[in-house]
Amino acid sequence: MPTHKETEKGVSELLQLLFKKHHLSLSSYEKILRERTKEEEELARNLARECTEKYYGRGVYTRGLIEFTNFCKNNCHYCGIQRDNGEVERYRLSKEEILSCCEEGYRLGFRTFVMQGGEDPYFTDERIVDIVSAIRKAYPDCAITLSIGEKSGESYKKYFEAGVNRYLLRHETADEAHYQYLHPKELSWKKRMRCLKELKEIGFQVGCGFMVGSPGQTVKTLAKDLYFIQEFQPDMCGIGPFIPQHATKFAKEKAGSLRETLFLLALLRLIKPNLLLPATTALGTIDEHGRELGILSGANVLMPNLSPKEVRKKYLLYDNKICTGDESAQCRADLEKKMEAIGAKLLVDRGDAKKEKESESKRNRRTCCEREK
């Protein structure tokens, strides 16, 4: 429930309150999303940059993305690699190819490898554990992230014990009816939420996220997404604009906007100041400078592609995806120049989430106690 003080505040005051307290009521998020002006969007971005610099300075973490399979057993209505898309040229990378991607990535300065793929039954727990164990042995100083969808709690435990540090599983939407609109009936919002809870309980650094401007999305569903992030407290949150894919049910739907995505990035930073927040490839796809603008709006992670060049055009979740033809080294070099142009710097670092900083009052109380001793 909103406090009496919250209901009386305008959008600028609510943004300042979010900056200080990092939580608001659901109705306050709705008010911000409905009523904000361009000036208030700019205020949010300025406050978000202040939060980011407090925790992370001007450094930007990089993750080496390895898209190792585009087979998928699911038929998500928005996804270009859905099971029934007969246009897709399917592929799977071998263990040796994945390790080769890691070798190249490590040489280029990546210290996190993200293995992402469709829900491919070929990659059994045994195969995943074998690959992950080999990466862990070869690169003990690196973080390993998996993004391979919904699994059982037992499977997640096996991955964690094999050396996986992080798991990305977008919640897609915090509204159950909206979730069902985006997915076939055999996929369940309740199961998705259960998976996220299990991942957190096991001990992963957990990432969730949603598309901006997805079909059926409303101010109310977006407010629920923000409130969910506030309550779930993930370590990472990946958001990007919805971009239609020509062979899907939503082929003729309108894409999400740059402006809305940048504003939501800023709000997410204000909700959780130490959040690992990517400026996604989708953001760079809808605008030439999208990723730079994302960093200037509170994002602090980039995920260049380490997949072999010959398979990148086969992993098209949406149309017109960028960076499908560049060499990995060229991709990183280009990003370094773009970050330098906006006063940021790519880091050679695992890029773990910084721990929450103590409040000033808590620090002061502890200092007083120490003096008394």
What residues have CB less than 8 Å from 86, skipping those under 6 apart? none
Q: What is the CATH number of the domain that holds 187?
A: 3.20.20.70
pLDDT tens for 272-294 read: 999 999 999 999 999 999 999 99
Q: Is 14 within the bounds of a domain?
A: no
Which pLDDT band holds residue 368 (cuts at 50, 70, 90)? very low
Residues 219, 48: Cα–Cα separation, whole Å:
21
CB 350 within 8 A of CB 166: no
Q: Is 170 within the bounds of a domain?
A: yes
| Model pLDDT, residue 181 | 98
Q: Is 32 within the bounds of a domain?
A: no
CB 208 within 8 A of CB 234: yes
- Looking at the structure of the chain, the number of domains it has is 1
| Model pLDDT, residue 4 | 56
Which pTM was predicted?
0.94
pLDDT tens for 52-89 read: 999 999 999 999 999 999 999 999 999 999 999 999 99
Q: Is 48 within the bounds of a domain?
A: no
Q: Which 3 state secondary structure label does DSSP give 149? A: coil
Which pLDDT band holds residue 6 (cuts at 50, 70, 90)? confident
Percentage of residues of the chain with pLDDT beyond 90: 90
* Segments of 195-312 assigned E as strands: 205-212, 236-241, 301-302
| Model pLDDT, residue 367 | 36
Q: Is 109 within the bounds of a domain?
A: yes
Q: Is 2 within the bounds of a domain?
A: no
| Model pLDDT, residue 358 | 44
Q: Is 277 within the bounds of a domain?
A: yes
Range of the domain at 101: 58-367
| Model pLDDT, residue 329 | 81
For the chain, give the mean pLDDT. Answer: 94
pLDDT surpasses 50 at 38: yes
Q: Is 34 within the bounds of a domain?
A: no
